[in-house]
Amino acid sequence: MTVDESGPHRSLVFAHRGASAAFAEHTRAAYLQALADGADGVECDLHLTRDQHLVLLHDANLDRTSDGTGPVAERTLRELRQLDFSSWKGARIPEAYGARSEQFLTLPELLELLRGAGRPVKLAIELKHPSPYQLKLEDRVLEVLRSEGWDPASSTVDNVAVTFMSFSPDSVRHLLQSVPAEYVCQLVDDLTIHEIRDGLGLGLITGGAVANLMKATQLEGEQIVEDGAVGLAGPGIDYVRENRATIQRWLQAGRRLRVWTVDSEDDVALCQELGIQEITTNMPARVLNQLSEASSPGR
């Protein structure tokens, strides 16, 4: 798919965990489809295995997206290779996208796919916390990227431009010691103490304590953006809807915004209206079509 980028206001489109509306998230098929759809970039979440491999998974546990169970951090890469990470989606995988046993990916394997795109591609890496390995996760990511030829000054690996994201302010500050601020994104969400406590189901006292900690982390992340410590801010679309004045202030201050997860036509239009530079979506082909149509002459 060829995408017209001539329009000055076309947001960059990142495929959220690959084209994850079409195929199981984080799988080879999802990323190959995202490239075929013409996505400007792809997003992935990283966890460390017991033997310190970087694997593409969102959850800290295996239950939702595989036929396994338990924490990712307690499994070796070899053990994870034995699991099925694609059948739960119920989508038939074309032969060209690999066998079921080839769907699970490590970070080096994703880089190999992106190198094969034949064009510049962006890679947004989210470092998942809390992690039992704490900031060793960040150190391992940078170590693996360096072994792949990553240039810190430009944050590129061959044709792949890499940025780093986390909700954890500690993670972001740690990354800033090795990565230029323009390539680091502080993720933010719109949380209330009441919503967090009720969602956790931990009881009034324990739930309240955890909720207070999570809210404090959110406020700390917002302050990192306000202070200009990072070049990228990553609010969720709910945050954008509820905090338009904040979003406009960040944009006017020169921040790049990468908004997640933008799937509906109304939300895409809102991002366009606000001048959001980057959109993360489960449906890159549809969002690219909407953006292309909106920028067509006569509209």
Out of 16, 47, 53, 174, the active site residue is 16
DSSP string of the chain? ------STTPPEEEEETTTTTTS-TTSHHHHHHHHHHT-SEEEEEEEE-TT--EEE-SSSBSTTTSS--SBGGGS-HHHHHTS-SSGGG-PPPPGGG--GGG---BHHHHHHHHHTTSS-EEEEEEEPSS-TTTTHHHHHHHHHHHHTT-BTTTTEETTEEEEEEES-HHHHHHHTTTS-GGGEEEEE----HHHHHHHHTS-HHHHHHHHHHHHHHHHHHHHHHHTT-SSEEEEBHHHHHH-HHHHHHHHHTT-EEEEB---SHHHHHHHHHHT-SEEEES-HHHHHHHHHHHTSTT-
Q: Active-site residue 16, yes or no? A: yes
Out of 26, 47, 53, 58, the active site residue is 58
Q: Active-site residue 174, yes or no? A: no
Residues designated as active site: 16, 58
